[in-house]
Structure 1
């Protein structure tokens, strides 16, 4: 029986650290933490090397309020997001002509549910979701080709739920799970 090597922890960015510091300070200002707890958690956030250490510093604090919808738009050309980009709670992707590539496999996903609304004219879309994500394709209207999504044989439902909706004219949506 061969076992796959564990994925090394993802290093955190300065933005992740700044967000954690802001949330700890906000928790103190709102009365959720004592002064001593704030000092301890600020130290944790400022010295954290992995996302797990940041989560520990933010435990028991209330969730941040839902952000407004973020929009990525292009009249023509390619829309591409990959690497360690921050995924908003609601993402609207608009493209009249061109391909869309969203890779969420190494993205920073802070919300248990992410809504992605596609408004595409022509050109296909490919969305790569984290290995442990659950995918729901709801109100997605396609004009020419249906969407493709192959549910993985081994389910790891511990990750976020990615809900995809919207409309596509000419082109196909392909959804896949990251391999690692």
Structure 2
């Protein structure tokens, strides 16, 4: 089966749909949206056929201010974000003993610059960035192994988000790659 052409509306996966539903339910539980707004968003998310329709279901969620820092933390175990999720302007990831996988390829990125601060003890980290993203990890301190990153030679379109990665990696390795499509 051939993948859809790049200029056609993106087909969504069940993971994307599940992530959108979970985000709407969390926003309701935290008091950010009303019951009616949650029902409307859930209906949109469950009946969406394209990525744009699914993203519009998340438009009900409050926008994060540019100075907001979100933290994902775990002492041990795995930290994973993938599918359709809204990337905050500043994302702090803390893990003492686990693996980290951040997939930004399908995420909703509303800011031209995203700062990802890693504070990792042991364990690997993998970050998948959008095809047109510009990656900067000059402020990342590594104790054991240097990050693996292959710079994209061809840019599909200029003006992608800039992903700045900083912080400290202990006894693990960071792999950064661009999404294939």
* TM-score normalised over the length of structure 2: 0.68
Instruction: Find the aligned partners of 2:96 and 2:7 in 1 and give their Cα distance.
Output: 37
CA contact (8 A) 1:114 1:160 kept: yes
CA contact (8 A) 2:96 2:121 kept: yes
**Structure 1 equivalent of residue 119 of structure 2:** 119
* Cα displacement (A) at 1:112: 0.6
* Cα displacement (A) at 1:9: 2.9
- Cα deviation per residue 1:152-178 (whole Å; 9 max; x = unaligned)? 110233211110000011010000000
Is it true that 1:128 corresponds to 2:134 in the alignment? no
Residues 1-80 of structure 1: pairs in structure 2 closer than 5 A: 5-10=5-10, 51=52, 65-80=65-80
* Cα displacement (A) at 1:132: 1.1
Instruction: Find the aligned partners of 1:165 and 1:111 in 2 and give their Cα distance.
Output: 17
* Cα displacement (A) at 1:100: 0.3
* Cα displacement (A) at 1:118: 0.2
Give the total of aligned pairs. Answer: 140
CA contact (8 A) 1:140 1:167 kept: yes
Give the RMSD, CA atoms, in angstroms. 2.8
CA contact (8 A) 2:64 2:88 kept: no
* Cα displacement (A) at 1:66: 1.0
**Structure 2 equivalent of residue 178 of structure 1:** 179
Instruction: Find the aligned partners of 2:51 and 2:94 in 1 and give their Cα distance.
Output: 33
Is it true that 1:169 corresponds to 2:173 in the alignment? no
**Structure 2 equivalent of residue 41 of structure 1:** none
* Cα displacement (A) at 1:6: 1.3
**Structure 1 equivalent of residue 29 of structure 2:** none
Greater Rg by CA:
1
CA contact (8 A) 1:134 1:157 kept: no
Instruction: Find the aligned partners of 2:172 and 2:116 in 1 and give their Cα distance.
Output: 17
What SS does the corresponding residue of 2:117 show, helix, strand or coil? strand
In structure 2, the CA distance between the partners of 1:82 and 1:8, relative to structure 1 (3 Å rule), is farther
Unaligned runs of 5+ in 2: 25-47
Instruction: Find the aligned partners of 1:121 and 1:146 in 2 and give their Cα distance.
Output: 15
Instruction: Find the aligned partners of 2:128 and 2:176 in 1 and give their Cα distance.
Output: 6
* TM-score normalised over the length of structure 1: 0.68
Residues 69-108 of structure 1: pairs in structure 2 closer than 5 A: 69-108=69-108
